Amino acid sequence: MLQTLATKITKKQKTIQIEIRKDNFEAFCDSIGLYRGEFLEALDASERDHKAGRVKKRKSLHELIK
C-alpha cells in the first residue's frame, strides 16, 4: 500500500535536510526501496563479505566510479 509523505520547503538551498516522524519512517523506507528484495540481498552479501574479511578501505565514494 502506497502512502503519501508530506513535504515542506522552507528555503531554496543546495542542501537537503530530511525530517521523518516515527509514524512515517516505515513508509519512507518503503518509498526509497529499502524493503526491495535486491537491496536486502545486497546487504546480506555485504555482511558476509565483511565477516570474511573481504573489505577495502575507501577515502571517498568517488573511488567507486573511477
Please state the separation of Cα 30 from the chain's center in Å: 11
> pTM of the full predicted structure?
0.51
Rounded CA-CA distance 13/58 in Å is 29
Per-chain mean pLDDT for the chain: 85
Task: Map out the domains of the chain as residue ranges.
Answer: 22-52
pLDDT greater at residue 7 or residue 49: 49
Q: What is the pLDDT of residue 44?
A: 95
- Model confidence pLDDT, tens digit, residues 2-40: 667 777 777 777 888 788 888 889 888 888 888 899 999
Q: How far is CA 44 from CA 10, 15, 20, in A?
A: 38, 31, 26
